[in-house]
Amino acid sequence: MRDPSDRPQTGSGARDPLSDRIRRHLDASVRNLDEPALERLAQARREALAAARHSPAPGRSWPVSLSTPVVLEWLLPAGAMASVAVMVLALSLLVKSPPVSTAHSVANTAALDIDLLSARQKLEVYDNLDFYRWLAANDRAG
């Protein structure tokens, strides 16, 4: 059995008095165990370590770590492409067509109204509209 004093220290190297007391108490209780109990504990530890190597961590349902070739070869580029697609979509939604000037459309409407009012011949057509309808109806009949 190993001596507890040759274990590596954790943290910054400074020992906490409370953790030293707990460690001494637990080490003393282990020294009092018989050989079959120590062997069962060692076997249980080996089985737990082997099971931990082959099973996902608690709370992780996918047993693949982020550094496996599957992740690096497929998921990382797919994630990058999805990010690029989202950025392109966002930029295309932000870019607008140039706004239509209301002053320009009002000017065009006013110009058309002026042309219509200044053309004397077009107004005469509207004055004699009933005649032209009668003429069209009789032309088809005869």
Quick check: 59 pLDDT over 60? no
Quick check: 19 pLDDT over 80? yes
The overall longest dimension of the chain from CA atoms, in Å, is 129
Rounded distance between C-alpha atoms, residue 62 and residue 70, angstroms: 12
The pLDDT of residue 18 is 93
For 78-104, write each residue's pLDDT tens digit.
888 999 999 998 888 888 666 656 656
More confident of the two residues 2 and 20: 20
Q: Is 83 left (phi over 0), alpha (psi -120 to 50) or beta?
A: alpha
Residue in 18, 25, 33 with CA at minimum distance from that of residue 4? 25
Q: Which residues contact 89 (CB under 8 A, 6 or more apart)?
A: none
